[in-house]
Amino acid sequence: MIPHLIDSHFHLRSMQRKGIDVESILAAMQELSMEGIEIGLDCGDLAERTAMLEPYPFIKLSAGIGPWGAQDSLDEQLAVLEDQLLKNDVVAIGEIGLDNYHKYGTVENQQYLLARQIELANRLGKPVIFHNREADSQFISLLGRTTFAKRGIFHCYQGGGELARLAIEQGFYLSFAGPLTYKANKGMQDLFASLPIEHILLETDSPYLSPNPVRGKANTPLFMHHIYACAAQLRSISLEAMVLQVRANFHAFLDQ
């Protein structure tokens, strides 16, 4: 195992639902001096997550309503989220975004949730963490007309070059996950190798998207080293250099 890795995006509650012993995972992360962001998927669980992670200050939290929340009761969910955010500390609002693959709710509902949460993030002075699934054109339009209080992250980046370049021009970070290690994703690998390395982050998106060579198993942050090894190879730099660069990028994101 490699110490001092960053996992910029993972979901402990989803790991728990898959029967993973998250206390053991957190203890191992602490032993390895790992850091990262535990990402919320629901509007009302931030207080519970905050209490769970109080003994682990090296893990930061975010909270938001993703496009899967675009079914109904949008304003009620937003009210609950804002109440939770005012009572608990987070480093970002997210994950939030647009998903044209699963088609949660309606496009209008997804866009409404996203716009309201960007407004909330700006009001609270927080960055955003974006979920983008087959919605590049919508995000290109959004970035062209929206002002953000802080730089954000496009998580598990699987979009194209045009969006990547625009996001980086606006100061966003692009975080790459397990799919970067899949042989079929040559286009993603070429894009990753071409981007300014100061805007790169790495993540597991645990418990989803396990990297090679553990693909097919439930993912955890302890598989981060596989993603780092692939990323370093794609950039033709040492593993140590990749670790130092991602740590610098992550702390620049936190310190903005």
Residue 80 to residues 123, 130, 197: CA-CA distances in angstroms?
16, 20, 37
Cis omega before residue 31 (within 30°)? no
Whole-number pLDDT of residue 91 = 98
Q: Domain span at residue 82? A: 6-255
Grouping H, G, I as helix, E, B as strand and the rest as coil, residue 154 is strand
Does 134 fall in a domain?
A: yes
Q: Is the pLDDT of residue 103 over 90?
A: no
**Structure confidence at residue 194 as a pLDDT band (50, 70, 90):** very high
Of 126, 167, 118, nearest in space to 147 by CA: 118
- DSSP H helical ranges for the chain: 12-17, 22-31, 46-53, 74-87, 107-124, 136-145, 161-169, 186-194, 224-235, 239-255
Cβ contact 128:155 at 8 Å: no
Render pLDDT for 37-80 as a digit per residue (tens, 0 to 9): 999 888 899 999 999 999 999 999 999 999 999 998 999 999 99
Give which of 171, 48, 159, 149 is closest to 97, Cα–Cα: 159
Q: Is residue 166 domain-resident?
A: yes
Give the pLDDT score at 16: 95
3 contacts 247 by C-beta, under 8 angstroms: no
| CATH number of the domain enclosing 94 | 3.20.20.140
Note the pTM of the prediction, 2 decimals. Answer: 0.97
Residue 249 located in a structural domain: yes
Q: How many domains does the chain have?
A: 1
Write down the pLDDT at residue 1.
78
Whole-number average pLDDT of the chain: 97
The verdict on residue 1 lying in a domain is no
**3-state class (DSSP) for residue 247:** helix
Q: Is the bond leading into 207 cis (omega within 30 degrees of zero)?
A: yes
Residue 128: partners with Cβ closer than 8 Å, 6 or more residues away: 64, 92, 93, 94, 96, 117, 118, 121, 148, 150, 152, 153
33 found inside a domain: yes
